[in-house]
Amino acid sequence: MRMKHICMAGLVMFAATTIALAGPSGGTVSGKVTYEGTPAKMKPIDMSKEPSCAKMYPTPPVAETVVTGAGNSLGDVVVYVSAGAPDEPAPSSAATFTQKGCRYIPHILALEVNQELKIINEDQTSHNIHPLPKLNREWNKSQPPGTPAISEKYDKAEFIPVKCNVHPWMHGTFAVLKNSHFAVTGDGGAFTLPNLLPGKYTITAWQESYGEQSQEVTITGSETKTISFVFKAKPY
Amino acid sequence: MRNFKFAMICLNLAVALALPTAATAQDMGSHVGNLKGNSSNGAALYYRYCWGCHGARGNGDGENAPYVQPTPRNFVAATFKCRSTPTGMLPTDQDLYNSLGRGFITTNMPSWITLTDQNRADLVAFIKTFSPRWKSEKPGDPIPVPAEPALTLASIQHGKELYQKLECWKCHGQEGRGDGPSASTLTDSNDQPIKPYNFYTGYRFKCGTTNSDLYKIFMTGLDGTPMPSFADVVKPEEAWDLVHYLRTLQIWHKSPELTMWEATPQGSEIVKSEKVRNTYTGNPIHP
């Protein structure tokens, strides 16, 4: 009789651990970010003061403040879970930020609190990396060509503008976020946030010129909820 | 009558608590050499001498601030130009004490050498109460400054190569006049226009006057300005070479470096043409 109880208890424990170790599951929030109205025309960048970069472009590149695509889509929009998900420890992999052609790649880098940030200079000219946080510490380092990658991290969530003082047209952003549920829209404006456990979430979309918008989404199981963000374009 | 008296006591207490005062529980004071600074004494001095520019809350928005360029230091943000600690780190008490005594040349911040040493130590203690960073992080470790090696011509010439290789000239210009190609577009971290240091016009720096001060300027960077730290990319011996070369750009200041440089044909030619070219090129803020 007791043997039976022990077996049952063992089976229940085995089942419980199997379910617990099943891996990430849950629902997904996906959608598209678009704009309405007429966005400002992005101006071509004059890199004549830095010939080593200017020569890399057959035609001058345009500023990346507003990145538009087919179907009025917006690229480079950070879509993230701003409430409803617990804070997460940083992943062990680094987030990489590259200076190439006197521009930042990616223009918007989303990473997590305390995640290693690796900054690389692939140009033939010196750059200085000067992030301008308000909550985190402000530092400013020179990175000549051929010098090793700079390794840093931020311990507070914040959207941090980044610039190079030597090349005033260079602008980027570090989006330091508290959990791993984020995406940066690409060409076409689409985003997917998977692995959301059942609960009520606030999904926020941030565009560097148009600001932020939020929506509430409830996940009950493993369904996919589709939402969309529409930003009002500014003419300047 | 008793009720009224009680009410007045409560009112006075409420008013006293509402006024900005030095933080009590987390107040660490300051230590500068043998001096121990007390922030309550510092508060009295601050609200007599400093708050006109630096503001009642210490965030640089004092009554005079709109008329002052560059803008007064924001102690709440705790980003400081003159440190012996690496970029992004808090300065030491000694750094703040030195800045108070020196003032900041070419700005509205005067030298407060007129106050006593104890006064300035007390002010350092009080300034530290404005930012929560002083409670959550310790100041950085001061960077090691090795002993200055003997001055040689090779050192100056190597420094000249470094000035090219590190592209200092992009902001400071080929002759160090602060007229490099990027100079006219420089802005500080408050988006205010700012000029790079002009070696031609003076010998004092914002953060000191000696070769060691100059060493620390580019090895720690001037936080809050476009001037970055080169600590990760310049070896200490090379840094001294750059210091020796930079002194030769200050052609109106008689230094051992300039004297040695002028004794060479190359150096004397450069310095002579600089002196003849006696126009202050400067750089326009709005090109």
Task: Give the span between the Cα atoms of A19 and A23, in whole angstroms.
Answer: 8
Interchain CB distance below 8 Å, B228 and A130: yes
Q: What pLDDT score was predicted for residue B11?
A: 61
DSSP-derived secondary structure letter, A74: E
Residues A53-74 pLDDT 10s: 999 999 999 999 999 999 999 9
- Beta carbons of A143 and A99 less than 8 angstroms apart: yes
Residues B177 and B265 in one domain: yes
The answer to whether residues A133 and A140 touch, using CB atoms and an 8 Å cutoff, is no
Q: What percent of chain A has pLDDT over 70?
A: 90
Do A128 and B79 count as a contact with CB atoms less than 8 A apart?
no
Nearest chain B residue (CA) to A48: B181
* Residues of chain A neighbouring B165 (CB-CB closer than 8 A): 144
User: 3-state DSSP call for residue A224?
Assistant: strand
Region of B220 (left: φ > 0; alpha: ψ -120 to 50; beta: rest) is: alpha
- Whether residues A147 and B185 touch (CB distance < 8 A) is answered with no
Question: What angle (nearest 5°) sits at the alpha carbon of residue A35, between those of residues A30 and A36?
Answer: 135
User: Between chains, do B189 and A126 touch, taking CB under 8 Å as contact?
Assistant: no
Residues B270 and B158 occupy one common structural domain: yes
pLDDT in the model for residue B196: 95
Residue A151 forms contact with B (CB below 8 Å): no
Nearest to B170 among A143, A148, A166 (CB): A166
User: What is the CATH classification number for the domain harbouring B237?
Assistant: 1.10.760
Residue A227 has pLDDT above 90, yes or no: yes
The answer to whether residue B66 sits within a structural domain is yes
The pLDDT value recorded for residue B278 is 53
Do both B233 and B160 map to the same domain?
yes
- B145 lies in some domain: no
Q: Which residue has the tokens 């700012």?
A: B194
Question: Per the domain annotation, does B88 fall within a domain?
Answer: yes
Helix (H, G, I), strand (E, B) or coil at B81: coil
User: Do B116 and B161 share a domain, yes or no?
Assistant: no
**Total domain count, chain B:** 2
The dihedrals phi and psi of B102, each to the nearest 5 degrees, come to: -80, -35
| Same domain assignment for residues B60 and B85 | yes
What is the C-alpha separation between B18 and A121, in angstroms, rounded? 51
Chain B residue with CA closest to A161: the answer is B189
Is B141 part of a structural domain of the chain? no
Give the range of the structural domain holding residue B175, as residue numbers without chain letter.
153-276
Whether residue A171 lies within 8 A of chain B, CB to CB, comes out as no
- pLDDT above 60 (res A190): yes
Distance from CA of A147 to the nearest CA of B (A): 7
Mean pLDDT, consecutive 10-residue stretches, chain B (287 aa), reads 67 52 61 96 97 97 94 96 97 97 95 97 97 91 96 97 97 93 95 93 91 97 97 95 97 94 95 73 37
| Residues B103 and B161 occupy one common structural domain | no
Please count the other Cβ atoms lying within 10 Å of the Cβ belonging to residue A195: 14
pLDDT for the residue numbered A109: 98
The answer to whether B87 contacts A140, with C-beta atoms less than 8 Å apart, is yes
Distances (CA, A) of B138 to A135, A137, A144, B37, B54: 17, 13, 30, 17, 23
C-alpha–C-alpha distance, residues A139 and B220, integer Å? 10
A131 CB neighbour count, 10 Å cutoff: 26
Residues B157 and B125 occupy one common structural domain = no
Question: Tokens for B53?
Answer: 């520019």
> Do the chains contact at A147 and B170, CB–CB below 8 Å?
no
Q: What band does A161 get if pLDDT is binned at 50, 70 and 90?
A: very high
Put simply, the chain A residues between 125 and 144 with a CB less than 8 A from any chain B CB are 125-126, 128-130, 132, 134, 137-144
Domains defined for chain A, CATH in brackets: 25-232 (2.60.40.420)
Cβ neighbours of B225 in A, within 8 Å: 140
User: What is the mean pLDDT of the segment spanning A148-175?
Assistant: 97
Please give the model's pTM, rounded to 2 decimal places: 0.87
ipTM entry: 0.86
pLDDT for B27: 73
Torsion of CA B195, B196, B202, B205, to 10 degrees: 110
Instruction: Give the three-class secondary structure for A231.
Output: strand
Which residue from B79, B167, B225 is facing A125, i.e. has the nearest CB? B167
Name the residue among B181, B225, B229 with its Cβ closest to that of A142. Answer: B229
Q: Do B166 and A142 touch (CB under 8 A)?
A: yes
Are B189 and B112 within one domain?
A: no
**B47 assigned to some structural domain:** yes
* pLDDT tens profile B157-201: 999 999 999 999 999 999 999 999 999 999 999 999 999 999 988
Give contacts of B187 with chain A, Cβ < 8 Å: 165, 168
CB pair distance less than 8 Å for A141 and B186:
no
- The size of the A-B interface in CB pairs under 8 A is 75
Taking the CA of residue B97 and the nearest CA in chain A, the distance in Å comes to: 22
Is residue B3, in this structure, part of any structural domain at all? no
The pLDDT value given to residue A23: 54
Helix or strand run (H / E) with residue B110: none
Is residue B271 domain-shared with residue B232, that is, in the same domain?
yes
In DSSP terms, B40 is beta-bridged to: none
B70 and B184 belong to one structural domain? no
Residue B66 and residue B39 in one domain: yes
Distances (CA, A) of B102 to A7, B51, B69, B149: 80, 18, 18, 26
Residue B176 placed within a domain: yes
The verdict on B72 and B186 lying in the same domain is no
Give the strand order in the sheet containing A103-105: A103-105, A95-100, A117-121, A150-152
- Domain end call among B110, B136, B162: B136
Is residue B269 a part of any domain in this protein? yes
Q: Say if B236 is an interface residue toward chain A (CB within 8 Å).
A: no
Q: Which of residues 14-73 of A touch B (CB under 8 A)?
A: 49
Kindly list the distances between the CA atom of residue A162 and the CA atoms of A12, A159, A175, B4, in Å, as whole numbers in the listed order: 53, 10, 10, 58
